[in-house]
Amino acid sequence: MTTISATASTTVFAKQHVVKQTNTSPFVRPVSSTKTLPRKKGPKPAIKSNKTGCGNAPGRKKERLIVERQDNQGTTTFCVQIRRQVSGKKLSLSETFSTMKLAKAWRDRKLAEIELGRIKPQIVERHDTTLVSDILAKRSTDGKPLKRSGVQMLDLLIAHPLCQIDASKIDNDWFRGIASALSAREITPQTVACYMTTLSYALKWGARRKMPVPSLVVQDAMEILWEDEVLARSEERERRATLEELDRIFVAATLNKRQKIPVPLIAVFAIFSCRRLSEICGLKWEDLRVAKSKILVRNMKHPRKKKKGNNVWVTLPPEALKIILSMPRKSEFIFPYNPRSIGAAFRRHRELVGVVDLRFHDFRHEGISRHFEMGMDAPFVAQISGHKTSVSLDRYTHVEEVGDKFCEWIWFDKALATAAEL
Q: Quick: pLDDT tens for 342-383.
A: 999 999 999 999 999 899 999 999 999 999 999 998 888 999
Let me know whether 396 and 345 are in one domain: yes
- Helix ranges, 8-131 (H): 100-115
Q: Give the domain range for residue 297.
A: 243-421
Let me know whether 160 and 292 are in one domain: no
Let me know whether 182 and 267 are in one domain: no
Let me know whether 210 and 251 are in one domain: no
The candidate with the shortest Cα–Cα distance to 338, out of 249, 418, 261, is 261
Non-local (6+) Cβ contacts of 270 within 8 A are 276, 277, 280, 360, 363, 364, 367
Please tell me the total count of domains within the chain: 2
Sequence length of the chain is 422
- Reported as a single tens digit per residue, the pLDDT across 38-68 is 555 555 554 444 443 445 555 566 788 998 8
- In the predicted model, what is the mean pLDDT of residues 261-284? 95
The H-or-E segment that residue 97 falls in is strand 89-97
Between CA 300 and CA 280 the distance in angstroms is 11
Let me know whether 303 and 168 are in one domain: no
- In the predicted model, what is the mean pLDDT of residues 137-142? 92
Strand 312-315 to strand 294-297: parallel, antiparallel, or no bridges (unpaired)? antiparallel
Between CA 357 and CA 347 the distance in angstroms is 10
pLDDT-derived band at 293 (thresholds 50, 70, 90) equals very high
- For residue 290, the one-letter residue type is V
CATH of the domain at 392: 1.10.443.10
Between CA 270 and CA 290 the distance in angstroms is 18
Let me know whether 293 and 204 are in one domain: no
Non-local (6+) Cβ contacts of 93 within 8 A are 80, 81, 82, 110, 119, 159
In a domain, 60, yes or no: no
The candidate with the shortest Cα–Cα distance to 91, out of 62, 66, 69, 117, is 117
The candidate with the shortest Cα–Cα distance to 70, out of 87, 56, 50, is 56
Return the pLDDT at 396.
75
